[in-house]
Amino acid sequence: MTAVLQTHDIHSFYGKSHILHGVTIEVREGEIVTMLGRNGAGKTTTVRSLVGLTPPRSGSIEIFGHDTTHWPTHRVTRLGVGYVPEGRKIFGNLSVLENLKVPRGRPGPWTLRRVFELFPRLEERRFQLGRQLSGGEQEMLAIARPLLLNPHLMLLDEPSQGLAPLIVREVIQVVRRMREDGLSVLLIEQNAPLSLAIADRAYVLDDGRLVYSGAAADLAKDIELVNKLAGAGKRAAVAKQPSAVSRASRTTRTGQPE
């Protein structure tokens, strides 16, 4: 499959703080790739680097064959990249309908009618203000908005954060639907079991370094390792050799303690 997103050895900083240390990932056409890791592991910094909000100081990013390493965010999105940020970031003083009209829609299969078919609760509440929605409804709105740009690649940062289990399952089903409709998806998550259940491949970040890269199904079989990742274990714990499966698919860890 063709790669729609590739990074090579990116290093990103917040001021003097070195957050990402040589992160190299790939998302291929029509697949869901999940990136797991504890709080502070660098997941959000990774996706912010991809969309130009925190550009890497070294390394490279390529999206749809274009070197976007130092592109501004609006230029990245025009390539066909949808971005759902952590914390939803909807406009609380605008109605649901007004929120959905904020991005300038692009021609394609995702129309307002189709978005309301996918999220019927948004249609029911289309005249309510964003701040009047529940957390789950706000997340639906945050996902629906970039879909109207008819992207080919979706980047979702912690879409299940703070949601009730029933709503989380609904969100995950929406992500699966995206793949069925031909979108490529990078899913940033802490909910390891649910994200591994729908992903094709997985990466795990810890302290800004990749400590796992491989098939999501293989990682899901390694319950001990999944529990350590979901429980925000230390890097040394993650980097241990818990099974033949994870040994075979773990990335090379440059400079990591053995």
The predicted-structure confidence for 69-111, as pLDDT tens digits, reads as follows 999 999 999 999 999 998 778 899 999 999 998 877 788 889 9
Indicate the DSSP class of residue 129. Answer: B
Report which of 119, 120, 44, 27 is spatially closest to residue 89, judged by C-alpha positions. Answer: 44
* Average pLDDT value for the chain: 85
**What are the extents of the domains in the chain?**
3-80+152-249
Indicate the DSSP class of residue 130. Answer: G
Q: Are 239 and 253 in contact (CB under 8 A)?
A: yes
User: Can you give the pLDDT at residue 1?
Assistant: 75
Amino acid at 37: G
Report which of 22, 20, 25 is spatially closest to residue 7, judged by C-alpha positions. Answer: 25
Report which of 199, 163, 196, 161 is spatially closest to residue 85, judged by C-alpha positions. Answer: 161
Q: How many CB atoms lie within 10 A of CB 13?
A: 15
Once rounded to an integer, what is the mean pLDDT over residues 144-150? 91
One DSSP character per residue, 139-200 reads HHHHHHHHHTT--SEEEEESTTTT--HHHHHHHHHHHHHHHHTT-EEEEEES-HHHHHHH-S
Within 33-164, residue ranges assigned H as helices are 43-50, 73-78, 96-101, 112-118, 120-124, 135-147
For 3-80+152-249, which CATH superfamily applies? P-loop containing nucleotide triphosphate hydrolases (3.40.50.300)
Assign 231 a pLDDT band (cuts: 50, 70, 90).
low
Once rounded to an integer, what is the mean pLDDT over residues 222-243? 52
User: Can you give the pLDDT at residue 224?
Assistant: 83
Distances in whole angstroms, Cα of residue 20 to Cα of each of 67, 209, 229: 19, 6, 18
Is pLDDT above 70 for 139? yes
pLDDT in tens, 163-211: 888 888 888 888 999 999 899 999 998 888 889 999 999 999 989 999 9
What share of the chain in percent tops pLDDT 90? 62
User: Can you give the pLDDT at residue 228?
Assistant: 74
Q: Which two tokens stand for residue 39?
A: 């709080």
